[in-house]
Structure 1
Amino acid sequence: MNQSIPVISRLNSTEDVGNNLHQLSGLWLKIEKHQKRNQNLTNKQAKIYAQFQAKAAPAEQKQAEMLRGQIEHLIGFITRKSLTHPEREELLDWVLSDIQYLESHPFAGNIDTQALRGRVNAAIAEFAGQENISADEEALCQLEAMLEEMFDGALQLSREELEEVAKDPTQLEKHIVALRERMQDEDIDTSDIGFDEEELEFEQEFFHRQQNDYQGHQDYYQEHQDYLQEQLKGFDRLFKGSQLNKLYKRLAAKLHPDKESDSEKKANKQALMKELATARKNKDVFTILQLYSQHFEDDLLDFDGDTLTAVTSLLEHKVKQLNAEYRELKDNPSLESLVWKQFKGRSQKITDQNILNHVEDLQKECDDIHAFVTENNIVKKIKTRLQERLKSYRSFPFADFDEAFAEIFAVPF
Structure 2
Amino acid sequence: MTLMTIIDDTALHQSKKKSQKLEKLWQDVEKKQTRNQRYQAKLDDFYEEFKPLIESKEHVVCKATATWIRHLLTFVPRKTIKGNQRETLYHWIQEELTILEANPFNPISTTELREHFTSLLIDYQSSMPKLDVSVDELEALREDLFAMFGQYLPLSDEELIDMIHQPERFQAYMQDMMSQDIHSDSENEYEDDFEWDGPDWDMNDDFSFGNDESELPMDSSLFEDRAMTKLYRQLANQLHPDKEQDPEKKALKKDLMQLLSQAKKDKDALSLLMMAQEHLPEYKLTADDDMLKRIEGALHSKIALLNQEHQFMQHGNDIKSEIWRRFGGGSKASRAKTLEQYGALLIVESEALYAKINSLTTVQALRKQLSQRAHQRQLNDMMGFEMFEDFLD
The match for 2:340 is 356
The match for 1:49 is 47
TM-score normalised according to structure 1 size: 0.60
Query: Structure 2: which 5+ runs fail to align?
Result: 142-154, 171-213, 382-393
Q: Is structure 2 residue 37 aligned with structure 1 residue 39?
A: yes
| Equivalent position to 2:60, from 53, 59, 62 | 62
Change (3 A) 1:24 1:357: same
1:358 is matched by which residue type in structure 2? Answer: Y
Change (3 A) 1:394 1:300: closer
Write the distance in 1 (CA, Å) between the matches of 2:81 and 2:258: 70
**1:350-401 alpha-carbon deviations (Å, 9 max, x no partner):** 433443333233222112112211222233322322222232224999xxxx
Work out whether residues 87 and 383 of structure 1, in 8 Å CA contact, stay in contact via their aligned partners in 2.
Answer: yes
Within 5 A, what are the aligned runs for 1:337-352? 337-352=321-336
**1:13-37 alpha-carbon deviations (Å, 9 max, x no partner):** 866x111111122112111111111
Work out whether residues 2 and 26 of structure 2, in 8 Å CA contact, stay in contact via their aligned partners in 1.
Answer: no
| Equivalent position to 1:133, from 129, 132, 142 | 129
Write the distance in 1 (CA, Å) between the matches of 2:237 and 2:85: 79
Within 5 A, what are the aligned runs for 1:53-202? 53-111=51-109, 113-128=110-125, 132-136=128-132, 140=134, 158=157, 161=160
Work out whether residues 25 and 300 of structure 2, in 8 Å CA contact, stay in contact via their aligned partners in 1.
Answer: yes
1:336 is matched by which residue type in structure 2? Answer: K
Q: Which has the larger radius of gyration?
A: 1
The match for 2:354 is 370
Change (3 A) 1:37 1:94: same
Change (3 A) 1:388 1:162: same
Within 5 A, what are the aligned runs for 1:289-304? 289-294=273-278
Work out whether residues 63 and 108 of structure 2, in 8 Å CA contact, stay in contact via their aligned partners in 1.
Answer: no
Change (3 A) 1:81 1:143: closer
TM-score normalised according to structure 2 size: 0.63
- Say which structure, 1 or 2, has more relative contact order (CA 8 Å, 6+ apart): 1
Length, aligned pairs only: 322
**SS of match in other structure, 2:5:** coil
Change (3 A) 1:261 1:365: closer
**SS of match in other structure, 1:56:** helix
Give the alignment's Cα RMSD to 1 decimal: 4.8
Work out whether residues 276 and 283 of structure 2, in 8 Å CA contact, stay in contact via their aligned partners in 1.
Answer: no
Bigger shift: 70-79 or 368-377? 70-79
Write the distance in 1 (CA, Å) between the matches of 2:265 and 2:63: 52
Work out whether residues 10 and 302 of structure 1, in 8 Å CA contact, stay in contact via their aligned partners in 2.
Answer: no
Shift of 1:81: 4.4
